[in-house]
């Protein structure tokens, strides 16, 4: 199922559970603004190459819009729209004062040199600089981008608006990035998994984990779960790894979803768990480190099998939560030590899990609908409080 159709279906189900007014429901679903820009750059060999970049600003009822920028050949408007919408519900689940946005460029970053990536990032920033900002829309890394990408955006943005470290998060620590942001999404996955397993009288130690994706999120999750005593029995070692991590074997990324294990952690692309493979999944728990890895049809199949799914907007909210800490530190001009960052992250993740469970109890629903009703309800309340006056 298309990412936007899947995300909107989950939203509509949550709106129904909450009994939202139909006009409010429609207004929450439609993005605030969709930006599409053409980015042409000279390649290293002197030829020109053109790419299409997107930024979808979904909602700002609760604060500045917030979300990553993805460089991937499959980036398209519907996908970015779905990811932006997920950010709106995710920041509300985490209860941080933001709305939601997401951006991307349709490109294969592995095929571009560092200087080509820098030129592309700078051209993209030139095209969107007047629509992002510290109190309007704050980008961060996502698939295919990293702290260096954020440094280029910060530098290009600052040419137009003066030095503005808080305009992006996930930037290098030397440029005002937060200690702990690099590991934050993986660390949040660890905290959320601990909270879920504790409900069933279990801990990380001794559980067998399969992790798909070994980029920023997957590699940190693997390292931290291994340190906590979990057994990472397989991982997808394409592209990147963490120096020193020696747990697990590397196998084909699609077949590993159906490997024998206790906990499956998809940490790469969306839609990888679908009606074609859901029935073959053997894990008891799925922790969605990736965004929208599970199609709604697969959700239904897995629910019948008794598999518990910790949804993306809760499980991977550690990244945007520490992005919020980074933004706060930039605005205050005061740096936190890493221990404080990690301690606060644990508090936020544990609270988000507890609030989600509360919604599950009051709406008699699964964890995905618990998180969606929590997020959608907070955004709906803020929207109504702000009013409709033109």
Ligand X SMILES: NC(=O)C1=CN([C@@H]2O[C@H](COP(=O)(O)OP(=O)(O)OC[C@H]3O[C@@H](n4cnc5c(N)ncnc54)[C@H](O)[C@@H]3O)[C@@H](O)[C@H]2O)C=CC1
Ligand Y SMILES: O=C(O)CCC(=O)C(=O)O
Interface with ligand X (CB under 6 A): 141-144, 185, 212-218, 236, 238-240, 253, 267-269, 289-291, 316, 319
Which two three-digit tokens encode residue 129? 């600089």
Give the residue at shortest CB distance from ligand Y: 68
Q: Can 282 be counted among the known catalytic residues?
A: no
Q: Which does 169 bind (CB under 5 to 8 A by kind): ligand Y, ligand X, none?
A: ligand Y
Stretch that binds ligand Y, among 51-59, 62-70, 186-194, 292-300 (CB under 6 A): 62-70
| Bridge partners for 35 per DSSP | 55
Q: Look at residues 260, 294, 301 and name the one whose alpha carbon lies nearest to residue 251.
A: 260
What does 67 bind: ligand Y, ligand X, none (CB cut-off 5 to 8 Å by kind)? Answer: ligand Y
67 makes contact with ligand Y (CB under 6 A): yes
Cα 319 to Cα 266: distance, rounded to the nearest angstrom: 16
Q: Which is nearer to ligand Y, 88 or 207 (CB)?
A: 88
Q: CB of residue 359 vs ligand Y: minimum separation in angstroms?
A: 20
Which residues in 140-179 are b (16+ Cβ under 10 Å) and which e?
A: bbbbbbbbebbbbbbbbbeeeeeebbbbbbbbeeeebbbb
- d(CA 79, CA 359) in angstroms, rounded, equals 27
Q: Sheet holding 65-72: strands in order across?
A: 33-42, 48-59, 100-106, 65-72, 137-141
Quote the least distance from Cβ 346 to ligand X, whole Å.
17
Cα pseudo-dihedral 87, 30, 127, 179, rounded to 10: -10
Provide φ and ψ at 13, rounded to 5°: -65, -40
Residue 213's binding partner out of ligand X, ligand Y, none, with CB under 5 to 8 Å set by partner kind: ligand X
CB 12 within 8 A of CB 25: yes
Segment lying near ligand Y (by CB under 6 A), choices 8-16, 119-127, 212-220, 315-323: 315-323
Q: What kind and span of H or E run contains 18? A: helix 3-18
Q: Per-residue x/- marks for ligand Y, 148-177, CB under 6 A?
A: ---------------------xx-------
Nearer to ligand Y, 207 or 317 (CB): 317
Residues near ligand Y, by CB under 6 A: 66-68, 90, 140, 142, 169-170, 291, 316, 319-320, 323
Report the catalytic residues: 102
């Amino acid at each position: 199922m298309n990412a936007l159709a899947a995300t909107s279906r989950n939203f509509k189900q949550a709106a129904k559970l909450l009994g939202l007014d139909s006009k409010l429901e429609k207004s929450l679903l439609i993005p605030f603004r969709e930006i599409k820009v053409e980015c042409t750059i000279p390649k290293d060999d002197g030829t020109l190459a053109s790419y299409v970049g997107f930024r979808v600003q979904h909602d700002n009822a609760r604060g500045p819009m917030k979300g990553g920028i993805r460089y991937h050949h499959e980036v398209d408007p519907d996908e970015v729209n779905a990811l932006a919408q997920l950010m709106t519900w995710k920041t509300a689940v985490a209860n941080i004062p933001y709305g939601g946005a997401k951006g991307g460029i349709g490109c294969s970053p592995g095929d571009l040199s560092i200087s080509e990536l820098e030129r592309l990032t700078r051209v993209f920033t030139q095209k969107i600089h007047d629509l992002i900002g510290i109190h309007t829309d704050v980008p961060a890394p996502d698939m295919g981008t990293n702290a260096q990408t954020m440094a280029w955006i910060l530098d290009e943005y600052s040419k137009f608006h003066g030095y503005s470290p808080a305009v992006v998060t996930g930037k290098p620590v030397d440029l005002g990035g937060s200690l702990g942001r690099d590991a934050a999404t993986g660390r949040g996955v660890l905290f959320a998994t601990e909270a879920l397993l504790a409900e069933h009288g279990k801990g990380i130690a001794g559980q067998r984990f399969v992790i798909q994706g070994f980029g920023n999120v997957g590699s940190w999750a693997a390292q931290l779960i291994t340190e906590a005593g979990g057994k990472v029995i397989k991982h997808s070692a394409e592209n990147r790894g963490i120096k020193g991590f020696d747990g697990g074997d590397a196998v084909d990324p699609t077949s590993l979803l159906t490997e024998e294990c206790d906990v499956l952690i998809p940490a790469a692309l969306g839609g990888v768990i679908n009606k074609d493979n859901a029935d073959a999944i053997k894990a008891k728990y799925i922790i969605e480190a990736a965004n929208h890895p599970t199609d709604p049809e697969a959700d239904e199949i897995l629910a019948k099998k008794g598999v518990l799914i910790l949804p993306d907007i809760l499980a991977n909210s550690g990244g945007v939560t520490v992005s919020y800490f980074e933004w706060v530190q930039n605005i205050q001009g005061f740096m936190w030590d890493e221990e404080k960052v990690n301690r606060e992250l644990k508090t936020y993740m544990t609270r988000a899990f507890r609030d989600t469970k509360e919604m599950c109890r009051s709406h008699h629903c699964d964890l995905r609908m618990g998180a969606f009703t929590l997020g959608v309800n907070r955004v709906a309340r803020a929207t109504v409080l702000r009013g409709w006056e033109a």
